[in-house]
Structure 1
Amino acid sequence: YKKDMIKDIRDDTSQNFRELLTALAQGSRSEPSNVVDNELIDSDARIELLMASFLPLSTVQCIQNKPEFFNDKLCQSTIKRSVLSRIMVSRSEIDLQYIKKEFKKKTGQTLHQYLTVSTKGDYQRVVLALCGGDD
């Protein structure tokens, strides 16, 4: 107790597993609130306005169809572990079920099957847990 959890994770785990646990530990989720923060609304609106004229193609693709966008990232033949970790952690509670459907439609195998073959050890156990069942 009273220790830096991120430092402990970095000191006690191997590379892929370390990256995944660090991403999970650092993940921040805003708590639901009934209070409207007008400053945040104004800030978001300004950001959206600025981004509207400078949207890269990948952003447009993501906006048009998020599950397909993230599936395409997963389907890249030389997927990086950091990309896999980021997608699994950030999308697991949002739209991973839709990404899994896109994955199966495009590859003919389930994401669970792919992760079983392409990962191993503690890292595999965590990404399979994030993935959920083999559907």
Structure 2
Amino acid sequence: VRDLWKVWLSARTTALSKGKGETRGTIKEKPGFNAGEDAAALRKAIEGIGTTEKTLIDILTQRSNAQRQLICKAYQDATGRTLCDALEGDTHGHFEDILVALITPHPKFDCQEFIQAIKGAGTNESILIELFASRSNHQIKAMCDAYLAETGRALIHDLKSEVSGDFEKTLLILAEGKRDESTNVDVAKAKEDAKILYEAGEKNWGTEESKFIDILCHRSVPQLRQTLVEYKSLSGKTLQESIEREMSGRLEEILVAIVKCVKSVPAYLAERLYKSMKGASTTESTLTRIIVSRSEVDLQDIKAEYKKLFGTSLYSDIEVRSIK
């Protein structure tokens, strides 16, 4: 088991150690890439006497997701078997989970995480909150398209059966993927929205949750950042503080998550990673989901925010927690 944890850790640390380039991800496209050669090397590593984990790690953590899809095609063309089936048959546990995640197209990966969140008797609301608060319109639409292709049903239809109340209303608006994407900031509108939020919460007895939901789910990120500034100026409190005072439960959690993502998605995800490793056990599925899904987006920024927020490196915390 200890050796398996070390291998799993190596997959992560290999990915995390990449990252000098123009994008904010840590995994880049490999120059001189040859899908056929990589597929042959993976086949040898899997079909030989004992699986060569180092080969699997070196190839799958040092190619972009697009390159991994080409490797998957080359592998199936050569063997008649999907690479996913081969990995699932030859690896196990958390190591298998991260390798399969790495070869899954990003929209399908988000879709599968959504399915896991609503699977079974209970719903994992924290995963739903993370997915819909941190993803862009484009990413949410791609996830919905992948869900339709996978299940034959609309994601929004199935989401309705899992949640209720104002929490449901918030998730459904986000799942529509219709947040304003304008980069323009209207200061007068930000002042107006800040006043609406203040009067809907702190200023009066009782809270009009619908006003918070409408503004936080529809305004553009740049516009909301200005609204946060105007709200603090008007009320003397941050909007997050007001939400935490005025609301509770899952609605509070998702609105706070939206505010955090407006300020900084990398900081929000850094906090999620930290909490996944805090306590007696590690939530490996959260580590896998965030690190794999952000490895070509903003993992460098997540690492920087993690260091800033918690005074330690993400690499070292993963190493310590994973070896335990």
TM-score (norm 2): 0.30
Match of 1:70 among 269, 273, 282: 269
Tell me the CA shift for residue 10 of structure 1: 1.3
Q: 1-side partners of 2:100 and 2:288: how far apart?
A: 10
SS at match of 1:48: coil
Structure number with the bigger relative contact order (C-alpha 8 A, sep ≥ 6) is: 1
1:48 aligns with 2:48: no
SS at match of 1:8: helix
**Residues 93-128 of structure 1, C-alpha deviations (whole Å, 9 max, x = no match):** 1111111111111221111111221224xxxxxxxx
SS at match of 2:177: helix
SS at match of 1:62: helix
Moved runs in structure 1, 4+ residues, more than 6 A? none
Q: 2-side partners of 1:66 and 1:101: how far apart?
A: 12
* CA shift in 2, pair 1:3/1:59, >3 Å: farther
Q: 2-side partners of 1:6 and 1:109: how far apart?
A: 35
The structure that has the greater radius of gyration is: 2
Alignment-mate amino acid for residue 82 of structure 1: S
The match for 2:284 is 81
1:9 aligns with 2:87: yes
Alignment-mate amino acid for residue 114 of structure 1: D
Q: 2-side partners of 1:8 and 1:26: how far apart?
A: 14
SS at match of 2:81: coil
Alignment-mate amino acid for residue 110 of structure 1: S
Tell me the CA shift for residue 2 of structure 1: 1.3
Alignment-mate amino acid for residue 48 of structure 1: G
Q: 2-side partners of 1:87 and 1:28: how far apart?
A: 11
In the alignment of these two chains, the number of paired residues is 107
SS at match of 1:26: coil
Tell me the CA shift for residue 75 of structure 1: 0.8
Q: 2-side partners of 1:28 and 1:102: how far apart?
A: 23
1:114 aligns with 2:243: no
Q: 2-side partners of 1:28 and 1:95: how far apart?
A: 14
The match for 1:93 is 296
The CA RMSD over aligned residues, in Å, is 2.9
Structure 2 gaps, min length 5: 1-78, 108-137, 143-174, 180-212, 218-253
* CA shift in 2, pair 1:98/1:18, >3 Å: same
* CA shift in 2, pair 1:59/1:22, >3 Å: farther
Alignment-mate amino acid for residue 103 of structure 1: Y
Tell me the CA shift for residue 25 of structure 1: 1.0
